[in-house]
Amino acid sequence: MVAYIEAARNRRTSESSGGVCFTAWKCECAKMRKVVLITGASSGIGLALCKRLLAEDDELHLCLACRNMSKAEAVCAALLASHPTAEVTIVQVDVSNLQSVFRASKELKQRFQRLDCIYLNAGIMPNPQLNIKALFFGLFSRKVIHMFSTAEGLLTQGDKITADGLQEVFETNVFGHFILIRELEPLLCHSDNPSQLIWTSSRNARKSNFSLEDFQHSKGKEPYSSSKYATDLLSVALNRNFNQQGLYSNVACPGTALTNLTYGILPPFIWTLLMPAILLLRFFANAFTLTPYNGTEALVWLFHQKPESLNPLIKYLSATTGFGRNYIMTQKMDLDEDTAEKFYQKLLELEKHIRVTIQKTDNQARLSGSCL
């Protein structure tokens, strides 16, 4: 059930005396308004992004793509209460479950004629472990500022296999979103009016943690860094393959903001104790955006640019000065287009395999059902 309908009914009557019934009004609004889909929209960076976008333009139609429907409904109600002229809808999707991605994609294609922008924001960093030894030695090295800005070498994570037989971090942060894009191509590819893909990447995306031979990072200990580097590669490849069809992709890093991801590294009370030191460090390391609002600076900025004018090889970074001023930085990504294209082809091969497997499973289920 589309969450915004009941709220809209409280604001407008469904009487057709004015010549337009509620259903027709809804369809007309969907055509005129810019439609923005945001994955992981119920908390952290995704939620702050929703608030900032509506604060700047409450004529948008935001579609919240969330796993937890109760949280999404609460967020939807709050957004509508503060922005009564906006349109806010919900679609349930778990990007770590491909069946969920296929169902959501089908629903979105029934609802919308086009999507103007997708924020590919949902992501996980499961069971992060702080490398105390690396932290200790880093404190006394010349790379101390770089270490704190990127967390390079400081974090390792656990990983597991999903029901789809894929590494969880890879499927959630990369492949689930890739399948979502593939399914929604008809809504995105319009050469007369470009659409945007905006990925939440990371300064922690390290080339050294990624391998084409193990692109799911099943053998390593830094799947998060690997997945974010994979995101950067995929964005470059998507531009190469879809720009002529009117689809453009860019990546942004929100910096170090206090969200569920960072609270997984250290509990909230530890971050509170560290805050004076972090605020001091921010005079030397602009990656400490600290709040989700600040972290969305680059993500919101990208939305307002002409996507065809942006450099696909640049990562756009949210940054905050020691005095709390937000601004945008750019960073050339440490990758090459040949590797990006090879990775893209590997994803297409994996997609083909997954589709065949799902089709076989569905056929077996139908046969079993007919025999009962």
All structural domains of the chain with their residue ranges? 35-370
pLDDT at 21 over 70: no
Given a contact cutoff of 8 angstroms between Cβ atoms, the answer to whether 295 and 254 are in contact is yes
User: Which pLDDT belongs to residue 19?
Assistant: 31
Given a contact cutoff of 8 angstroms between Cβ atoms, the answer to whether 264 and 211 are in contact is no
Which position has the higher pLDDT, 239 or 258?
239
φ/ψ of 111, rounded to 5, equals -85, -40
- Give the bridge partners for 250, in sequence order: 198
How open is the CA angle 204-350-333, to the nearest 5 degrees? 25
Q: Maximum distance among all alpha carbons in the chain? A: 75
| Out of 20-29, 181-190, 277-286, 307-316, least confident range | 20-29
pLDDT at 153 over 80: no
User: Which pLDDT belongs to residue 258?
Assistant: 82
| Out of 38-42, 265-269, 311-315, least confident range | 265-269
Strands 35-39 and 314-320 turn out to be unpaired
Q: Give pLDDT tens digits for 211-252.
A: 999 999 999 999 999 999 999 999 999 999 999 999 999 999
Which position has the higher pLDDT, 117 or 272?
117
Q: Give pLDDT tens digits for 301-353.
A: 999 999 999 999 999 999 999 999 999 999 999 999 999 999 999 999 999 99
Given a contact cutoff of 8 angstroms between Cβ atoms, the answer to whether 118 and 34 are in contact is no
The verdict on whether 224 is a catalytic residue reads: yes
Written as one string, the DSSP assignment of 228-293 is HHHHHHHHHHHHHHHGGGTEEEEEEE--SB-SHHHHHHS-HHHHHHHHHHHHHHTTT-TT--BSHH
Which position has the higher pLDDT, 367 or 228?
228
| Amino acid at residue number 203 | R
Which pTM was predicted?
0.85
Residue from 119, 224, 316, 344 carrying the catalytic annotation: 224
Q: Give pLDDT tens digits for 166-223.
A: 999 999 999 999 999 999 999 998 878 899 999 999 998 999 999 999 999 999 999 9
- Give the bridge partners for 199, in sequence order: 120, 251
Q: How many CB atoms lie within 10 A of CB 292?
A: 20
Which position has the higher pLDDT, 4 or 81?
81
User: Which pLDDT belongs to residue 132?
Assistant: 60
Strand order in the sheet with 35-39: 87-92, 61-66, 35-39, 117-120, 195-200, 247-253, 314-320, 326-332
User: Which pLDDT belongs to residue 149?
Assistant: 59
Which position has the higher pLDDT, 340 or 58?
340
Which position has the higher pLDDT, 369 or 324?
324
| Amino acid at residue number 145 | I
| Amino acid at residue number 292 | P
Q: What is the CA radius of gyration of the chain?
A: 21
CATH number of 35-370: 3.40.50.720
Q: What letter does residue 114 receive in the DSSP assignment?
A: -
Q: What letter does residue 175 receive in the DSSP assignment?
A: I
Q: What mean pLDDT do residues 56-67 have?
A: 95
pLDDT at 13 over 60: no
pLDDT at 371 over 70: no
Given a contact cutoff of 8 angstroms between Cβ atoms, the answer to whether 61 and 89 are in contact is yes
pLDDT at 125 over 90: no
Instruction: State the pLDDT confidence band at 285, using cuts at 50, 70 and 90.
Output: confident
The percentage of the chain sitting over the pLDDT mark of 90, rounded to a whole number, equals 66
